[in-house]
C-alpha cells in the first residue's frame, strides 16, 4: 500500500516560536494533501487542503496566516504553525489520497504531537 510519512512525530516548542511539520508521500505522487487537527478525545477536524503548485484552501475558522501550508512538490506538503501558543497544542495529521481500483483511499501520516509551553 501507499505510505505517507510525517515528521516530526513529537515536538515541544516555546510559546511564540514557529514549528514546521512535513508530510511526504513516499511511493506515490499526491497533488492534493489534507491537514487535520485532533484535540484529546475529539474527532479529526479538517484544517485545510494543500494543493501542489497553488494556494491551500482553508476550512472556515482556520487562520491561514497562523497555519502556513506549502505544497511545493508532488510528494511534499508542509504545515508551519507560526507564533505558536499553548492553545495550538494538539495532534496534527496529514493525509494523501491514493486511487485504488474501486475507490480512493486516504493514507495518513503518523501524526505530530505538538506541545507549546
Partner 1 sequence: RKEVEQDPGPFNVPEGATVAFNCTYSNSASQSFFWYRQDCRKEPKLLMSVYSSGNEDGRFTAQLNRASQYISLLIRDSKLSDSATYLCVVNLGGYNKLIFGAGTRLAVHP
Q: Name the site residues for partner 1 (rule: CB under 8 A).
A: 32, 34, 36, 42-46, 49, 91, 93, 95, 97, 102-106, 108-111, 113
Q: State the minimum distance, in angstroms, from the CB of residue 39 to partner 1.
A: 11
Burial of 33 (0-12, 13-18, 19+ CB in 10 A): buried
Cell of 45: 477536524
Report the nearest approach of partner 1 to the CB of residue 84 (Å): 20
Identity of the residue, 6 or 78, whose beta carbon is nearer to partner 1 in the bound complex:
6
Taking alpha carbons only, the member of 80, 114, 113, 76 closest to residue 96 is 76
Nearest-approach distance from CB 81 to partner 1, in angstroms: 19
Residues contacting residue 4 through CB under 8 Å, at least 6 positions apart:
23, 24, 25, 26, 94, 95, 96, 107, 108, 109
Nearer to partner 1, 66 or 113 (CB): 113
Q: How far is the CB of 16 from partner 1 (least distance, A)?
A: 27
Between 33 and 116, name the residue whose CB sits nearer to partner 1. 33
Amino acid at each position: 500500500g501507499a505510505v505517507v510519512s510525517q515528521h516530526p512525530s513529537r515536538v515541544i516548542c516555546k510559546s511564540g516560536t514557529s514549528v514546521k511539520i512535513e508530510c511526504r508521500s513516499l511511493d506515490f505522487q499526491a497533488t492534493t494533501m489534507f491537514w487535520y487537527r485532533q484535540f484529546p478525545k475529539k474527532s479529526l477536524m479538517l484544517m485545510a487542503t494543500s494543493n501542489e503548485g497553488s494556494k491551500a484552501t482553508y476550512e472556515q475558522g482556520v487562520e491561514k496566516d497562523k497555519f502556513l501550508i506549502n505544497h511545493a512538490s508532488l510528494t511534499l506538503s508542509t504545515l508551519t504553525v507560526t507564533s505558536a501558543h499553548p492553545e495550538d497544542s494538539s495532534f496534527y495529521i496529514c493525509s494523501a489520497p491514493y486511487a485504488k481500483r474501486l475507490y480512493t483511499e486516504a493514507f495518513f501520516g503518523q501524526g505530530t504531537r505538538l506541545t507549546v509551553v
